[in-house]
Every structure is written in structure tokens, then in C-alpha cells.
Amino acid sequence: MTKVAESTVYDDLMDLIEGEPPPPQDDPRIKKSKDYPITLKVHINERSDCDLFAALIGRNLSSDETKIIFSRKDKPKSGATYLENRKNPLATSTTHQTRTETVLWGSTTDFRNDPIPHYQTFEIVLTAVDEHIAFLRLIKQQLSFETTYTYFPKTEKVASKGKVWVSKFEDHQPRYPIFIITKGRAYSRHTAKCLDRLGVPYRLIIEPQDYDDYETFFDASQLIVAPFSNHGSGPGRARNLAWDIAIAEGYDAHWVMDDNLRDFYRLHENRRIRVGDGGCFRVMEDFFDRFENVQVAGPQYWFFCPPRSGYPPFVLNTRIYSCLLIRNSCQHRWRGRYNEDTDLSLRVLKDGDATFQWNEFMQHKMPTQALSGGNTAEFYHAEYLTGDDEPELGKYHADGTWNKTLMLSRMHPEEVAEPVWKFGRWHHEVNYKPFKANKPVFKKGGGESDKSYMFTIK
């Protein structure tokens, strides 16, 4: 294993938020309860399912009236059906084929994912919480009260069960090293298990106190023991160590991944199917290497790419999270106790450089803070707790996200608004529109590659 010293002193930037407690509980931004009436959109993909939905709620429906006030007290009508009055219900003109990203992608892969419109969407008006509960029971779906849309019938969440995309090109292993940043999760090790399934090599950066646990499951050559522990400054310090090691070993770039990634997927022709080898990483690397000013890239979260929606192969100039391909010559390093992914992406974009976020290749990340270990105990479940608080595992303490949200707005006041209250906790909102004009610059002779990468379903 290459041993290197940390090249930079880590700045957690806590001075930006020192002494700023969260707002009081009567702050007008905090919404304590759901205000009714609300509207729940029900998307229906097939004509025949419109009749089934009409029969279920016991009401004649038509394409002319799609807004429905639901009442559990209404007497259901026997034999209710749906009447279609539109000439072309599935008309759509949207395509990604003319987007800049698709033109740049060229024939790198045979990607295509134009939208398939819903056949019909009904807007169900729910006037009270009792009506809300009654409607969810009627359609037999367990949804959060915060959910704004659903499908009927309920869509299957597991994508492409039993199938995988495998590379049809021989050289499908990643060229650049993969580092997993992990702490206190030797017994879950989701990202490592996933990469093992794909046959992809990797190393883990761990802290000294966790060595015995991780050595139970990994060869010593896979473990990089950091020269620090329980420093409370977030994962950025370990990520900088991975960066230093990649440079010392002579690489031009490196991958750094969170430890809670379950799978990787390929989106193509409106299907999300798991990948079965390291080909997706190699394709992203080779495209990344055609440009001189793309500093950070990575796959999108899979839940942001519903199969029926239209997407280009990648999106330019936005934030890159959780699984990052980083050019080692990038002038910025990780910093900050919180939101270090967003901060790094913003600093790159503010330089006029570019980022790539792939839609064709996606990561399946576990819900935020759904695992113990990592930063859960140190940060999000611990901050601002009182003796009366008992936050559930998998959920933030309501004020536990205040510091992370406030810090980002202090770091980038022009791009990040002051904290907003959503989904029962504090959130940040970032404006990436000023960076949409940042253009990726081809290296000399970089142009469109004559190499096409093909995958097949196995």
C-alpha cells in the first residue's frame, strides 16, 4: 500500500456558523402540520387501467374532467367506466436527441431514453386527513402524507429483477483507483459488496479504531488506515487522503465513493437494469478523459430517473454526490464539515469548469442516514438534541440539519439560499442556472471517439 502524508490541513469551516443556533420552534418557516385541501396526482400508464381506477373509486371518469374531489362518504357507482375524448392521448414532442449532452455523447453508447407519457393523470383533491387515509386505503398504497404523486396500479419498485447489463467490450475494468470512505460500517459494507459482485477492485479508507472489525471481512491490502480518528470534521478529510494516494501512485484521476451504495444501473430505452461488471465505470472514465476542463463527474441517483421520463445521457454542470470521479489536477480540495460534495461542485463550476452527471449510469444509494455509523451518530442525530428527544434511526433530528444547511449558504451566499423547511427538517436550495453556459473543452484531438461501447442484457 502506498503510504502518504496528508498534503493539506483540513478546514472544517465551522467558524462560519459558530454560535448560530437553529430558529425557535415558532419560526414562520417551520410547517407543523399538513394544510388541507391537498392534491395527490395519480398517474395511469395504460388505457385499460383508467377503467379499473374508475371502477375502484366508483365514479364515471373522462379525459375532460381529471380533477376529482374525493369523499369517503360518496356512494360508489356500480359499473363506473372511463370515457376517452382526446384524439391523440399519447402525443409528445419532447426528445433529448437535440440536447447538447446528447450531441457530445455521440455514438459512445447506443443510449436512447425519450419520454413515454402517462396515458392519463388524475388530480385527486383530499379535503382532510381522514379523506387522505381513506383514499390510500382504497388504492392499497402506503404513502407518506408528503407524497405528491403516485401510480395506479402501483408500479414495481424493483427494476429488472434477475437481469443485468454486461459489457461487450473486453477492457471493461476501471482505469482509475476506487476508494470507499467508510467508518463504523464493517458489518454492512454495501458498496464493497456491490463492487465484489461486479468484480471491480477497490480499497477502503478506515479509521484506526475500526481496523479489527474491517480485517474480519477484507484482506489487509484493501485497507488504508487513516492517520486520524473521530476528528468530527466529516468525511472530506479521508477523501483528501484518497486524493493524495492517487496522486502518489501516478494516476490522473480517482473514484471516491460513499459506503452505502447498493447497486449501479444502466438506463436505456426506458428501462433501469443493474450492471453486471465494471463496464459502466470504464465508459464514464473514457468519456471524462476526452475533456480538459471537466474536473468532477459521477452517476445520478437512480430514484431521480424514472424509466418513463425522458433524459439525456448526462447533464452538464450540476452537483455530483456520493460517487465521484475526480481529476487529480483539480485545484480544489475537500473542505467543510457538511455538504462537502456540493461545495466542491460549486467551486469547480464557479471557476468556469464543467461537471458531468450521468443519467445513463446510475447509483442506488440507501436513503440518507438510514444506516448507523458514518456521520449519523456524530452529526445528524446528535446536534441540538435535548434529554427529551429520541430520534428514530433513519430520520434526522428536526434541527440536526440546521448546521449543514446554514454552512453551505455561508460558503456560497450567491448560489445557496438561506435554509428552508421541507419534509420535516431544514434543507438548502442551490441555484445552478448561472453555470449552464460552462462549456466542456475537448482535449487536443479529443473530438468524437471512434470507439463505441456496447452492452447486452444477460
Report the alpha-carbon distance of residue 243 to residue 159 in Å, rounded. 34
Q: Give percent above pLDDT 90 in the chain.
A: 75
Give me the helix-helix angle, 47-57 and 129-139, nearest 10°.
130
CA-to-CA dists, residue 251 to 1, 37, 224, 368, angstroms: 15, 57, 17, 31
- pLDDT at position 446: 67
Report the alpha-carbon distance of residue 306 to residue 1 in Å, rounded. 41
Average pLDDT over residues 221-225: 96
- Predicted confidence band of residue 155 (pLDDT cuts 50, 70, 90): confident
Assign 168 to helix, strand or coil: coil
- Predicted confidence band of residue 392 (pLDDT cuts 50, 70, 90): very low
Instruction: Please name the residues in contact with 266: beta carbons below 8 A apart, sequence gap of 6 or more.
Output: 165, 272, 273, 274, 275, 280, 360, 361, 362, 455
In this structure, are strands 164-167 and 223-225 parallel, antiparallel, or unpaired? unpaired
- The alpha carbon torsion through 406, 380, 338, 372 (nearest 10 deg) reads -160
Q: Which residue has the higher pLDDT, 390 or 408?
A: 408
In this structure, are strands 164-167 and 455-457 parallel, antiparallel, or unpaired? antiparallel
- pLDDT at position 30: 83
List pLDDT tens digits, range 12-65: 999 999 988 888 888 888 876 668 999 999 999 999 999 999 999 999 999 999
Q: Is the pLDDT of residue 159 over 60?
A: no
- pLDDT at position 157: 54
- pLDDT at position 373: 58
Domains of the chain: 14-22+161-457 (3.90.550), 38-151 (no CATH)
- pLDDT at position 383: 57
Burial class (CB in 10 A: 0-12, 13-18, 19+), 128: middle
Residue 153: count other Cβ atoms within 10 Å of its Cβ.
15
List pLDDT tens digits, range 95-114: 899 999 999 999 999 999 99
Average pLDDT over residues 174-193: 97
Instruction: Please name the residues in contact with 157: beta carbons below 8 A apart, sequence gap of 6 or more.
Output: none
N-to-C CA span, the chain? 36
- pLDDT at position 22: 87
Average pLDDT over residues 227-252: 96
Q: Which residue has the higher pLDDT, 267 or 374?
A: 267
Q: Which residue has the higher pLDDT, 454 or 161?
A: 454
- pLDDT at position 395: 47
Q: Is the pLDDT of residue 388 over 50?
A: no
List pLDDT tens digits, range 279-313: 999 999 999 999 999 999 999 999 899 888 899 99
- Predicted confidence band of residue 391 (pLDDT cuts 50, 70, 90): very low
The pLDDT mean for the chain works out to: 90
By mean pLDDT, which of 20-24, 238-242, 271-275, 333-337 is the weakest? 20-24
Q: Which residue has the higher pLDDT, 407 or 422?
A: 407
- Predicted confidence band of residue 394 (pLDDT cuts 50, 70, 90): very low
Q: Is the pLDDT of residue 376 over 70?
A: no
Instruction: Please name the residues in contact with 385: beta carbons below 8 A apart, sequence gap of 6 or more.
Output: 391, 397, 400
Q: Which residue has the higher pLDDT, 194 or 161?
A: 194
- Predicted confidence band of residue 161 (pLDDT cuts 50, 70, 90): confident
Residue type, 79: G
